[in-house]
Structure formats: C-alpha cells, structure tokens
Amino acid sequence: MKRKAENEVKLTLPSRSSNESYARVAVAAFAAQLDPTLEEINDLKTAVSEAVTNCIVHAYPDRIGPVTITVGLYAGNRVRVQVRDKGVGIADVKQAMEPLFTTGGGERAGLGFAVMQTFTDRLRVRSAPGKGTAVIMEKEIRKR
C-alpha cells in the first residue's frame, strides 16, 4: 500500500503495561469508521495488543520508552497499523517470528507474531539492533 492514507492518526505512548488496553481500544475506535464486524474489530485489537506488548516486554526490557502507533485508513476499506519503538531491536527477525520462540520466560507463550499473522492479512517486521523495531500490519475490512 504505497498510496496516501485517506485518514490517519498517530499516537505515542510510554511503554507502560497499563497502556496496553488503551492502545488496542484507540486503534479499534479509529478503525470503526470503516464499519467493521465485531470479529474484525476483535482481530485488530488482538493483533495490536501483541505488537504493543512486544514493545513493553522486549524492546524496552529495563526502561520506559516511546511506542508510536500510526493507524491509516486506505481506499478499498483497508486499515494499516504501524507499531514502532526505539528499543533494543531484534538481531534475528526470522527466529523471533517463529511460533513458540520466546525470550520472555515461562509465562510468555511465544505466540505474539503468530497471533498478529493470524488476525491480520499482512505482517511485516523491520528491525535493527540498538535502533528499534517497526511492525506493520494490514487488514481489509469487508464491505457489508
């Protein structure tokens, strides 16, 4: 999706776990103008929750840093969500995306990227160690 967004919002929040709920609800509320079904809204909320949690748990393991979320609405009823951090970055993105791979300890399932992949149409991850990570997710909201 190279075209310009028809409508776009950008928000930056500190990587506190108490912001997880706000982040997913904010994205869902903005995307609501495309008239999604309850299932589509839930898909989006779940995917965003995973991306933001990754920033909190992995990108900033021992400090609070900025998480920037850009939500764009595009022609063809498509929503694109970018979740960006300036944290530690991922050395091996391919490995990090493997289901069950986690550096988060016993209570983390290692399924964050698998959930993002399942609940959106397209997932891209760009990362550089020491610079940060950007997760881009796209989802088509079906016309009703």
Q: Which positions lie near another protein, rule CB under 8 A?
A: 17-18, 20-21, 24-25, 28-29, 32, 38-39, 41-42, 45-46, 49-50, 53, 56-57, 106-109, 111-112, 114-115, 118-119
Residue 106 near residue 71, CB atoms below 8 Å: no
Q: Which two tokens stand for residue 86?
A: 């300036």
Closest CA to 15 of 66, 90, 68: 66
Is 108 an annotated catalytic residue? yes
As beta bridge partners, residue 11 has 69
Given the residues 20, 24, 40, 54, select the one marked as catalytic: 54
Given the residues 20, 24, 40, 50, select the one marked as catalytic: 50
Look at the block and give the residue holding tokens 């595009």.
Answer: 74
The distance of closest approach from Cβ of residue 104 to another protein in the complex, given in angstroms and rounded to an integer, is: 9
Just list the catalytic residues: 50, 54, 108
